[in-house]
Structure 1
Amino acid sequence: MLDDEPVAGRCRGRWGRFGHWFGRASGVTLAAVFLQPVGHGDIVRDGPPQRIAADGVCHPDGRVGKVMTSSTAQPTVKLPGDVRMPLLGFGTWQAHGESAHRAVSAALDAGYRLIDTATAYGNEDLVGRAIAESAVPREDIFITTKLPAERVGREQRTIDESLRMLGVDQLDLWLIHWPPTRGDLVDLWRRLIEIRDAGQTRTIGVSNYSLAQIDELIAETGEAPAVNQIKWGPRLYDKAEVQGHHERGVVLEGYSPFKTTRLGDKTLTRIAETHGVSPAQVVVRWHIQHGVVVIPKSVTPARIRSNGDVFGFELTDEEMAAIDALGH
């Protein structure tokens, strides 16, 4: 059994005043958070967009974020180049063989629009097959994969192979999986910038980097990673870490949200009971209301659906603070 395997919870409901709760509960304001489909442009599939409350999240130009009525709408965070990344994604670590293919297919059917994989996972071909067989258009799917740190010097060959395995012409996000143990941190980052500028990936970022390492990249190249994917969950919550990423213009993405959390914690079970959901759903919702991208994983269809069914309830300021306190 994979580590991110919660029990099922309540059925899908309304989106809720996401912008309101994100703005108040997170304590920070990321570059911009949008409630709209991931596909290029402002696509409205089921009628005109509805505005969230006036105290919700706003775009840099002052427009209020949108709540879409489409079943494929996802809350997203804006990355450089006007790229929008879903705040809810599906992780594929430790997913192999046909179970990986079926899991990604189930995730796309359940409404996930961010799929996270890596060269090191050995499942890019299975992820690609599920995407190709899905009825979801490619432009509505955000694909992330990762460069192994030991592939320093073989960046071009690695991304060419990833694109071939995934069956796509361009990635949405390419991450350096770990800081390299050999070679120069900055030289590798410059190589990713070159590959992005050549058009093989829309955005680039890092994984498992410290803020000091990110500062080194910024100081030497003038360009910050779009995303830093790190292990994250309520027991790892650190307001300074969140604020530090925000100040650098780097979106925080958390992996292993359940592995890093004791789902039986009385704080989580109490809040879950209040909303009629599972503790795992509370954890996912907590990430989203903080503006942190979250990628729960499972190979069980019912659990996959449950993990993503987090838009029918809202955590209050007090509940967010209580969950934050688990990291103290």
Structure 2
Amino acid sequence: MRSLLLAVAWPVATAVPSVTLSNGVEMPMVAAGSWQYNSSTAYSSITSALKAGFTMIDTALDYHNQDGVGKAIAESGIPREKIFVETKVPGCGLDPSTMNVFNCYQATKRDLETDLKLLNLSYVDLVIVHFPPISSMITRSCNSWSGGCQMVRAQWKAMNEFYAEGKARAIGVSNYCPSCYDCLESSNPVMTRLPMVNQVQLHLGMGTDPEGFVSYHKAKGIQLQAYSVLGNSMTHHASSEILNGNLTTSIGKAHNKSSVQVALKWVISQGIPAVTKSSSSEHLKEDLDLWSWNLTTQDKQLMDAHRSPKGSPSFACNAAEAVLV
């Protein structure tokens, strides 16, 4: 249950602002997610999200629901170019055979095409590598001796080819660490196109520059996108502190907004797009009502300084390697 319910009628949906990626593509500031949804639930949720006014959808190959997401898009009646579709391919190593660099490259090419097939689309707006190679997650660094660097480069080669073929308007990564970018920048020949997006965990309680990820990515020209914006407990449920805590509920009460809206507002106020989700039509509408009001300076100061619940931008990175700008 959300901590507060709006007692007023829903306002007319405000156009969702966007950020400009390094290649000039405009990406909406909020996306309707589908993690943990099966195909049927994803179809229902995304259908509701599009009706509510969402213009961006987030899914992934390993969510096993892209057929439902694609069906919702196809039946929406909304022109394809008006919906920003983001999907993902897994990092190499989940299948042991893809620990081989050549197989990693081939599997990535296959998975990219599978995304299009399941979504029933000729292109996606953004596709990202869901996480670094498994060997890198074990060492918590994309180092060469684990084979991580070689696989990072192999996957990025496949991603660049997919992009060059016009099958994705933008390409990126998720849960990537500074050492993963080092692999790309030190490759031979040099990979001059860095990821356009890195989707990482970011929520209230982590501060405005957790482990230096925000300042680092700004310096690189890579747009961060936030997942788990309501916290990420071991049970994969939203944090009760964010949903019902004194800080979010008191600020929400002052603005006649829910605690969820307050938490989302804090993320996007930093210029970082957010992925949110709900199976409730009313909550989806609420998640879009983020631009008709503003946090006060005091609200922002209190939220910036808050340090609970804790979190790390990536489960795949060693915080010690995040020596940033």
Match among 172, 190, 193 for residue 205 of structure 1: 172
TM-score (norm. length: structure 2): 0.77
RMSD, aligned α-carbons: 2.1
Kindly tell me: are residues 318 and 13 of structure 1, through their superposed partners in 2, closer, same or farther at Cα, counting changes over 3 Å? farther
What residue number does 2:69 align with?
127
Query: What aligned pairs does 1:39-58 form with structure 2 within 5 A after superposition?
Result: none
CA apart distance, 1:176: 0.3
Distance 2:175 2:4 in 1: 28
CA contact 1:148–1:176 (8 Å) conserved in 2: yes
Bigger fraction of residues in helix: 2
- SS of 2:86's equivalent? strand
Report the AA paired with residue 104 of structure 1: I
Distance 1:321 1:218 in 2: 37
CA contact 1:6–1:303 (8 Å) conserved in 2: no
CA contact 1:170–1:199 (8 Å) conserved in 2: yes
CA contact 1:77–1:85 (8 Å) conserved in 2: yes
CA contact 1:146–1:177 (8 Å) conserved in 2: yes
Match among 36, 40, 43 for residue 101 of structure 1: 43
CA apart distance, 1:6: 6.6
Report the AA paired with residue 290 of structure 2: V
Query: CA-to-partner distance for each residue in 1:53-95, whole Å, 9 max, x for gaps?
Result: xxxxxxxxxxxxxxxxxx5722000013321000111110001
Match among 110, 116, 119 for residue 163 of structure 1: 116
CA apart distance, 1:286: 1.2
| Unmatched 5+ stretches in structure 1 | 15-70
Distance 1:276 1:148 in 2: 40
4+ residue runs of structure 1 moved beyond 6 angstroms? Answer: none
Aligned length: 269
Query: CA-to-partner distance for each residue in 1:186-207, whole Å, 9 max, x for gaps?
Result: 2221221121111111111000
Bigger fraction of residues in strand: 1
Report the AA paired with residue 270 of structure 2: H
What residue number does 2:253 align with?
273
- SS of 2:30's equivalent? coil
CA apart distance, 1:13: 4.5
What residue number does 2:207 align with?
237
CA apart distance, 1:105: 0.4
Q: Is 1:322 matched with 2:302?
A: yes
Match among 280, 285, 288 for residue 308 of structure 1: 288
Report the AA paired with residue 193 of structure 2: E
Kindly tell me: are residues 216 and 320 of structure 1, through their superposed partners in 2, closer, same or farther at Cα, counting changes over 3 Å? farther
What residue number does 1:115 align with?
57
Query: What aligned pairs does 1:284-303 form with structure 2 within 5 A after superposition?
Result: 284-303=264-283
CA contact 2:39–2:64 (8 Å) conserved in 1: no
CA contact 2:203–2:229 (8 Å) conserved in 1: yes
| Unmatched 5+ stretches in structure 2 | 93-97, 99-103, 136-149, 233-238, 309-325
CA apart distance, 1:238: 4.1
Distance 1:230 1:130 in 2: 26
TM-score (norm. length: structure 1): 0.77
